[in-house]
Structure 1
Amino acid sequence: MPRMFAAGPKRAAADAYEQGRSSGLQQGYMDGYFRGKSQGIVNRVLYAPTLRNLHVLFVSSGKGFPYSPIDEAIIATLHTMVSQVTVSDAKQDVAAEASRTRPDLVLVLDGMYMPVEQMDAIRSMGLRTAVWMTDDPYYTDISVGWIHHYDYIFTLELNCVAHYQNLGCAQVHYLPFGAFPLHYRPIAMPAAASRDIGFVGTAYPKRIRFFEPIMDQLMRHRTFISGNWWERLPGYARFSNRIEVNKWMGPAETADVYNSAKIIINLHRAVDDDDINQNSGRIPAASPNPRTFEINACGTLQLVDEREDLARFYTPGIEIETYRSQSELLEKIEYYLANDQHRKDIAHRALERTYGEHTYAHRLNTLLSVIFP
């Protein structure tokens, strides 16, 4: 009898082991299939633009990180699109470089640190100039100081097109950022810890007010947050083991986090956070932020707060999911964690749309087509 009694727990343990092993193998197979399909989509739809016989002098933002990855994306992409690229920055004598090399276009990212006297000198040479605005509409109070010194204005915010036109700029064009495939792409084996939900971003005041009431519900899952200032969250100490604070993550680490999660939350910054913005005209934001494209480029389901112009880029419910409140966000998190295949299907459609339409190569091709029709 003692032997028979002992056999029961042993058999139960063996059965539990086999069940866990079988479940793990099945989960591993499904995850491998999902990531393999993601890579197949990238290989099939990656956009290769036509090479143009142009010389572009690119002037980086001069702001350093976190703007430098955008500089890198534009420079690397231009090298695949035009016959010659010269790189400078706002701290150098760009006018002298333009006089020496005589480029077809001087393209400036952001323009905040670029002396307007330099741009006036370049335009006096008869050279085309353009600026691609990085922070619209959040700093429109100060951008008025330099936008009139360029032939072409490109803005990532739809509502700033009319704003700049009303200020007297003749050539204003809507051009959001996109995804850079060398930075944001599916990863077969992410190094970051596996998670159900992830959020990457600075703890702006309105983000804190949005997340604070739902932290308990979010943390019932494997939820991790990364970004500056999250120690300001009331009750931060309770969740500090899953909140990484005061760290700017580069593209590689950010992409790794995106790939490690089943769901990534995207919450846009608010236009009326007066402590951090310079937008006294309260120009509303209609356009998706750059993170929208970068998350989707990793093949991960994105839950993003609604913006008016989002549907121009992704079809809600088909290629991306949206929310309008904390309760709707929580409801959709529960749904997609319980409906794995639906989550993966949307993520794959977003990945295909991103690589097919929303890379920096697409955006720069549009920019060059406007200037050199």
Structure 2
Amino acid sequence: MVSKVLLLYGYHYGTTGSFIEQSLRRQVQLCAVGAGHEQATEPGWRAGCERAATLQEIYQLLPRDFEPEVILVVESGEKFFPDGLQDAPCPCWYYAIDPHFNGEWQRDYALLFDRLFVSFKQYLPLFENVGHPWVRWLPHAYDPHVYYDHGAPERDIDIAFVGDMDPQTRPQRVMLLQALQAAGLQTCFTKGIWKEEVAKLFSRSKLVFNHNHDGVFNPRNFEGSSCGSVVVTNPAENLTDFFTPGENILIYEDAPSLVKLVQVVLSQPERLAQLAAGAAAVVKQHSWDQRMIDLFTMAQEPAVPIRTHFSQQQQMRANAMVYQSRGLPGKALSYWRSIAWQVERDFEVPVRITAIYAQFGFFPQMLALLVELLEMPNPPVEALMPLRNFMVEICCEQRHTRGAELLLEHFTTIAAEQRQKLQALC
């Protein structure tokens, strides 16, 4: 059994990483490091660092008597991407919690780890298809130390919701919430509150509205149920792995069915109480403590030796791709240039570097590399095609004559208006 864990994640109060941290502290000796940890107020050893701190820098922060047996990296959105994980001296594991949002770069990131845990079962093939030999499902959970019935004097709210209500990004959710408000119910829909505040609100609510975005199962299903409320939710992949619709959770399909379902169940206090009791019972087995036990149990399964299933060049490329997509051009360029030393006449590397220069506004460097590429005997015109319009625009802005000549020579499909602008520079 592992006893010393180094947990790496970008800290924010109330996120999945923070729940996992508190659970692990109850089970193992833990040090938590990552961007934002200097702002944390929870007890336990932790240290803040830069967004792309190296593993060597992270190890220098650790207490002298702490030698990690395992490094667990928990996805934290844009917040933290430690550098050098492929060289870790101990097993390195990754928990991908939002592959429906971040799968595009997580596929690359996965190459740096020995074991992958994925929050949504339907996304396991995303990681298996890149050739990773060890991928397991570890569903979301809830923290019963936070989410429990706080014993409000009465449940004076018919239905509550806490979460994103941006009409630009969640239009269907907003439409459903508006339908509930229009039905004359006692509602409380809010955002920007966390943990205990959410639990206290749910403890005053007969029902908790949920909307599983993109059809993925979110932890609100557990959190509302654990506070003595009945969750009313839309369908989600694998929801029936945890709940039985009609017995401990209610399922709607659209706004009319949602409103009718809510009105009917609110008119049946005995059924409401039965649903709530069933929900509270079923969620007990889905705590973060249990998930961490499951994680360590699964991790004992045989696996290949530490990080031997992908080559060094594949791992370097993975780092480069992740840092480029996450807005860290310096780190990305460093990795692409290191790869360039190892690979002769591989057009992907200079094209990727050109794209980084373009993406982050290094226009003189972009134009210099563009000229170098297009003056080759067999220039990578097709590989550069996605950048064509942008390169035309920058050549015109920078009044770059040689770049204009080469674009006119090699890109025959340039629009007439753009062609005229380039010809004016020649």
TM-score (ref. length: structure 2): 0.60
Percent identity, aligned pairs only? 20
CA contact under 8 A between 1:206 and 1:269: conserved in structure 2?
no
Report the Cα distance in structure 1 between the residues aligned to 2:103 and 2:288, rounded to whole angstroms: 24
Report the Cα distance in structure 1 between the residues aligned to 2:76 and 2:265, rounded to whole angstroms: 42
CA contact under 8 A between 2:17 and 2:76: conserved in structure 1?
no
Query: Partner residue of 1:201?
Result: 163
Query: Partner residue of 2:143?
Result: 180
Report the Cα distance in structure 2 between the residues aligned to 1:116 and 1:96, rounded to whole angstroms: 10
SS in 1 for 2:105: helix
Query: Partner residue of 2:196?
Result: 252
Give the C-alpha shift of residue 111 in structure 1.
5.9
SS in 2 for 1:154: strand
SS in 2 for 1:139: helix
Give the C-alpha shift of residue 190 in structure 1.
6.6
Find the structure with the greater CA-based Rg: 2
CA contact under 8 A between 1:305 and 1:323: conserved in structure 2?
yes
Matches within 5 A, 1:1-373: 52=1, 54-62=3-11, 64-67=12-15, 70-82=16-28, 84-90=29-35, 91=49, 93-98=54-59, 101-110=66-75, 113-115=79-81, 117-122=83-88, 125=89, 127-189=90-152, 194-204=156-166, 205=168, 207-212=170-175, 215=178, 218-219=181-182, 220-227=184-191, 248-270=192-214, 285=215, 287-355=216-284, 357-373=285-301
Query: Partner residue of 2:346?
Result: none
Give the C-alpha shift of residue 260 in structure 1.
1.0
CA displacement, residues 179-200 of structure 1 (integer Å, 9 cap, x when unaligned): 1012111111279x83111121
Report the Cα distance in structure 1 between the residues aligned to 2:169 and 2:251, rounded to whole angstroms: 18
Which structure ranks higher in relative contact order (CA pairs < 8 Å, sequence separation ≥ 6)?
1
Structure 2: which 5+ residue stretches go unaligned? 36-48, 302-426
SS in 1 for 2:199: helix
CA displacement, residues 42-84 of structure 1 (integer Å, 9 cap, x when unaligned): xxxxxxxxxx55211111234x2452xx3332122112222x2
Inter-CA distance 181–332: structure 2 relative to 1 (3 Å threshold): same
CA contact under 8 A between 2:203 and 2:227: conserved in structure 1?
yes
Report the Cα distance in structure 2 between the residues aligned to 1:132 and 1:54, rounded to whole angstroms: 19
Report the Cα distance in structure 2 between the residues aligned to 1:85 and 1:98, rounded to whole angstroms: 13
Give the C-alpha shift of residue 336 in structure 1.
0.9
CA contact under 8 A between 1:88 and 1:94: conserved in structure 2?
no
Report the Cα distance in structure 2 between the residues aligned to 1:168 and 1:303, rounded to whole angstroms: 38
Inter-CA distance 168–197: structure 2 relative to 1 (3 Å threshold): same
CA displacement, residues 234-259 of structure 1 (integer Å, 9 cap, x when unaligned): xxxxxxxxxxxxxx111111111111
Between Structure 1 and Structure 2, the one with more strand by share is 1
CA displacement, residues 127-158 of structure 1 (integer Å, 9 cap, x when unaligned): 11111112221221222342211111111111
CA displacement, residues 91-137 of structure 1 (integer Å, 9 cap, x when unaligned): 35544555863322101110655446321121xx2x11111112221
CA contact under 8 A between 1:190 and 1:259: conserved in structure 2?
no
TM-score (ref. length: structure 1): 0.69
Query: Partner residue of 2:364?
Result: none
Structure 1: which 5+ residue stretches go unaligned? 1-51, 228-247, 271-284
SS in 2 for 1:61: coil
> What is the identity, as a one-letter code, of the residue corresponding to 1:315?
T
Give the C-alpha shift of residue 160 in structure 1.
1.2
| CA-based RMSD | 2.4
CA contact under 8 A between 1:147 and 1:153: conserved in structure 2?
yes
> What is the identity, as a one-letter code, of the residue corresponding to 1:148?
L
Report the Cα distance in structure 2 between the residues aligned to 1:111 and 1:196, rounded to whole angstroms: 33
Report the Cα distance in structure 1 between the residues aligned to 2:2 and 2:163, rounded to whole angstroms: 39
Give the C-alpha shift of residue 353 in structure 1.
1.1
> What is the identity, as a one-letter code, of the residue corresponding to 2:150?
I
Give the C-alpha shift of residue 213 in structure 1.
7.0
Report the Cα distance in structure 1 between the residues aligned to 2:20 and 2:108, rounded to whole angstroms: 24
Inter-CA distance 74–116: structure 2 relative to 1 (3 Å threshold): closer
How many pairs align?
A: 278
CA contact under 8 A between 1:197 and 1:262: conserved in structure 2?
yes
Give the C-alpha shift of residue 217 in structure 1.
5.1
CA contact under 8 A between 2:149 and 2:228: conserved in structure 1?
yes
Inter-CA distance 78–216: structure 2 relative to 1 (3 Å threshold): closer
CA contact under 8 A between 1:57 and 1:98: conserved in structure 2?
no
Report the Cα distance in structure 2 between the residues aligned to 1:107 and 1:157, rounded to whole angstroms: 18
> What is the identity, as a one-letter code, of the residue corresponding to 2:254?
S
Give the C-alpha shift of residue 297 in structure 1.
1.3
Give the C-alpha shift of residue 216 in structure 1.
5.4
> What is the identity, as a one-letter code, of the residue corresponding to 1:252?
E
SS in 1 for 2:33: strand
Report the Cα distance in structure 1 between the residues aligned to 2:137 and 2:119, rounded to whole angstroms: 6
Residues 258-267 or 143-152, more deviating: 143-152
